[in-house]
């Protein structure tokens, strides 16, 4: 069944910011493409059932939300950059640059992770994440974190600092941009995760195999947990479990463009203070 989405004509289901949302005007050109030609030509439809790809014309946040919400659909996600950085979005400035057939795309499949957040009040929250799972305190605070994995050789230890983050390969670009570390950027098809402490001294970073990772809070300072930044939040947590999932999405990139180099270049520019 998956092969049906990788051959022949692309029929897009459009995902754009609602009119009036901040930054929605950046996607107005795509709205025009849809109404003037793409829908009438059968290249796009507002009937999701007959479409085999999503056209996400927004920023990185829109791509992450689409991946989380629609990972069960098995449709290809094609991103058109209409945001700020767009490290996993295609530069498609004109309608003629929009891929019409799957032969024009390079497909990369990436997996999502799950975070299980145990709050001190007894509540348990579960979130899927496209980029990363993070737990931490305010910048001026320090907390203790005991970190354990289920595979032999995992760097188990207790550290003190601002927080701990576990990132998917696709999420390492965001980590690098925020922390000025281009060496953290993993290839999209990497079968590893990136784990890092934030201001934790002896536990700066590691590349580990996907596994069940348990982070236990060992101090009284309130610690919050997040899945894909602040879009999914659990307050005052005592423990977080991060685990692999079977959920995956296929991202469509324009052929002939080196997206791995683009991701690293963005992180390097941040290191040099150019962004």
Token pair of 210, please? 């996907």
Token pair of 152, please? 């032999």
- pLDDT computed for residue 263 by the predictor: 78
- Asked if residues 54 and 70 have their Cβ atoms less than 8 Å apart, the reply is yes
- pLDDT computed for residue 177 by the predictor: 58
Confidence of residue 272 (pLDDT cuts 50, 70, 90): confident
- pLDDT computed for residue 22 by the predictor: 84
Which residues, 6 or more positions from 29, have their beta carbon under 8 angstroms from its beta carbon?
Answer: none
For the domain covering 2-100, report its CATH number: 3.40.50
Mean pLDDT of 248-267: 86
Mean pLDDT of 252-274: 79
Token pair of 160, please? 């003190």
Residue whose C-alpha is closest to residue 55's, from 83, 91, 30: 30
Strands (E) across the chain are located at: 12-15, 53-58, 76-81, 105-119, 124-129, 132-136, 143-149, 157-161, 163-167, 193-198, 205-208, 213-217, 224-227, 232-234, 237-254
Helix 172-179 / helix 259-271 crossing angle, nearest 10 deg: 20
The 10 Å Cβ neighbour count of residue 11 is 18
Mean pLDDT of 242-270: 87
Domain spans of the chain? 2-100, 113-246
Confidence of residue 270 (pLDDT cuts 50, 70, 90): low
Query: What totals of helices (H) and strands (E) does the chain contain, helices first?
Result: 4, 15
Helices (DSSP H) in 118-271: which residue ranges? 172-179, 259-271
pTM for this model (two decimals): 0.89
**What are 150-161's pLDDT values in tens digits?**
999 998 888 899
**What are 49-69's pLDDT values in tens digits?**
999 999 999 988 899 999 999
Confidence of residue 179 (pLDDT cuts 50, 70, 90): low
Q: Report the CATH fold assignment for 113-246.
A: Tumour Suppressor Smad4 (2.60.200)
**135/217 Cα distance (integer angstroms):** 9
**What are 188-214's pLDDT values in tens digits?**
888 999 998 888 776 667 899 999 999
**What are 71-130's pLDDT values in tens digits?**
999 999 999 999 877 778 999 999 999 999 999 999 999 999 999 999 999 999 999 999
């Amino acid at each position: 069944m998956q092969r049906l989405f990788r051959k022949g004509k692309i029929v897009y289901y459009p995902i754009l910011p609602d009119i009036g949302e901040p930054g929605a005007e950046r996607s107005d050109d795509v709205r025009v493409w849809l109404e003037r030609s793409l829908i009438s030509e059968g290249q796009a439809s507002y009937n999701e059932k007959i479409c085999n790809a999503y056209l996400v014309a927004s920023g990185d946040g829109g791509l992450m939300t689409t991946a989380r919400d629609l990972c069960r659909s098995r449709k290809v996600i094609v991103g058109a950059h209409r945001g700020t950085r767009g490290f996993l979005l295609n530069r498609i400035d004109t309608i003629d640059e929009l891929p019409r057939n799957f032969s024009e795309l390079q497909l990369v499949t990436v997996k999502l992770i799950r975070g299980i957040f145990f709050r001190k009040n007894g509540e348990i929250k579960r979130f899927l994440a496209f980029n990363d799972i993070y737990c931490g305190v305010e910048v001026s605070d320090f907390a203790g974190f005991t970190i354990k994995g289920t595979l032999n050789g995992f760097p188990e230890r207790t550290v003190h600092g601002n927080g701990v983050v576990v990132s998917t390969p696709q999420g390492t670009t965001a980590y690098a941009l925020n922390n000025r570390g281009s060496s953290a950027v993993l290839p999209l098809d990497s079968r590893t995760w990136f784990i890092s402490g934030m201001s934790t001294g002896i536990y700066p970073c590691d590349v580990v195999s996907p596994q069940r990772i348990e982070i236990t809070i060992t101090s009284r300072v309130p610690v919050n947990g997040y899945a894909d930044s602040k879009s999914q939040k659990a307050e005052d947590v005592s423990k977080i479990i991060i685990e692999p999932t079977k959920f995956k999405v296929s991202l469509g990139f324009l052929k002939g463009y080196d997206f791995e180099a683009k991701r690293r270049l963005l992180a390097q520019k941040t290191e040099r203070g150019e962004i």
